[in-house]
Amino acid sequence: MITNEQIIAQGLDRIRAGYVFPEKAVDVDAEIRRRLDLGAYAGLDGPGLCEAVTAHLQEVCPDKHLRLLWTDEPQSLEPADQDEGRAAFLDLLRRENQGVRRVERLDGNIGLIDVRWIATADGGAAVIGAAMHLVASSSALVLDLRSCRGGAPEGAAMWCSYFFGDDQVHLNDIYDRTSGETRQFWTLPHLPAPRYTDRPVYVLTSATTFSGGEDVAYTLQAHGRAVLVGETTRGGAHPTVRHPVTEHILVTVPTARSINAVTGTNWEGVGVVPDIPVPADEALDRALEAARGGGNID
């Protein structure tokens, strides 16, 4: 039976080998091993071990994607299969209507799109386009990301593309430590629905908004294309790889980082800060108030 010491050692090996900031991985390794030597993890069961180690990892390195993760469902101990992981995510998106929960036309000719996941650009294009068709004639748009928990970077770029003109706009880059390559993300030249370029856009956020949802919110805010209303988001900007340690424990290692074309940085650890801070359950009313009052993003 694998011991807590062995679980921690394997997790730290993965972090040192893959974490996007190698120098921080050294600090993380030293601190967790110090606590291990002091007996901080002795006697903890699986979920308790994961909770304690994750808390200590994030004390040293406030990266919300850097975690020791417990899962009740047994996992394969084979190395993570990227194709299998992508297939599972695509299946989730199909079951969740490519992340689009609802589209409405509200009083005052204001469009509302509730997005729970950021779909891939290829698989989600038709549904995203259908949603944008339904709000194409609205006077203002509310994009509700309060329950959006993540998704695909290329899908985030597609969502953002609708709010810029035909000319390509450099949105952000993602640097990958494993390959040493930097991938650029630009607005798309062709979309399956009309662009929404000449009217106000309000993005709703909450403390639940994470990862891909934060990408859309941060990018539109940084480019001055939307007003953010709600709560500061969770703060997860680093694409991540999961490695099995036991059948029930995974270590999640951020291997890449986002770099916004305007700010030169991202929202990791700090979240996306709204322009109009209000409790999440008041965000829609506040955005509608601004939209109906002729509020704009200038």
What pLDDT, on the 0 to 100 scale, is given for residue 81?
A: 53
- pTM of the complete model: 0.85
Residues 256 and 20: beta-carbon distance below 8 Å:
yes
What pLDDT, on the 0 to 100 scale, is given for residue 85?
A: 67
Q: What is the mean pLDDT of the chain?
A: 93
Residue entry with tokens 């308790």: 48
- 282/296 Cα distance (integer angstroms): 19
What pLDDT, on the 0 to 100 scale, is given for residue 71?
A: 92
Residue entry with tokens 């993760």: 69
Q: How confident is the model at residue 84 (pLDDT cuts 50, 70, 90)?
A: low
Q: Considering the chain, what percentage of its residues have pLDDT values greater than 70? A: 96
What pLDDT, on the 0 to 100 scale, is given for residue 44?
A: 96
What pLDDT, on the 0 to 100 scale, is given for residue 242?
A: 86
* Range scoring the smallest mean pLDDT among 221-225, 238-242, 283-287: 238-242
- 199/217 Cα distance (integer angstroms): 17
Q: How many CA atoms are closer than 13 Å to the CA of 141, on its beta-carbon side?
A: 25
Give the pLDDT mean for 129-142.
97
Closest CA to 138 of 105, 167, 162, 116: 105
| Residue 43 reports pLDDT greater than 50 | yes
What pLDDT, on the 0 to 100 scale, is given for residue 297?
A: 46
What pLDDT, on the 0 to 100 scale, is given for residue 83?
A: 56
What pLDDT, on the 0 to 100 scale, is given for residue 230?
A: 98
- 207/233 Cα distance (integer angstroms): 4
Residue entry with tokens 């030597």: 37
| Residue 94 reports pLDDT greater than 90 | yes
Task: Retrieve residue 60's tokens.
Answer: 């040293």
pLDDT in tens, 54-65: 999 999 998 888
CB within 8 Å of 167: residues ≥ 6 apart? none
Give the pLDDT mean for 169-190.
95
Cα 37–Cα 8–Cα 76 angle in degrees, nearest 5: 165
- Describe the chain by its helix, strand, coil percentages, rounded to 5: 35, 20, 40
What pLDDT, on the 0 to 100 scale, is given for residue 76?
A: 79
Mode of pairing for the β-strands spanning 256-260 and 110-115: unpaired
